[in-house]
Amino acid sequence: MNKTTVWTIVGVVVAIIIAWVLVDVLFSLLWFIGKLVVVAIVAAIVFFALRALFSRSRAE
């Protein structure tokens, strides 16, 4: 193997490692954003349910 082939193999391995890390970070970020959206939706539902419950109990 000549020097160019070795550097090509090293470049491919480094590119795969960088891509692996970037994809891992991207999926972690997407998972975190998805969890935030679900938490925000559930929190809004609970907030409005509690507000309706307490406004009904004050009216009686």
pLDDT at site 2: 87
| pLDDT tens digits along 26-56 | 999 999 999 999 999 999 999 999 999 988 7
* CA end-to-end span of the chain: 88
In this prediction the pTM is 0.65
Residue listed under structure tokens 């349910």:
49
Residue 60 confidence (pLDDT) above 70: no
pLDDT at site 34: 97
pLDDT at site 59: 62
pLDDT at site 33: 98
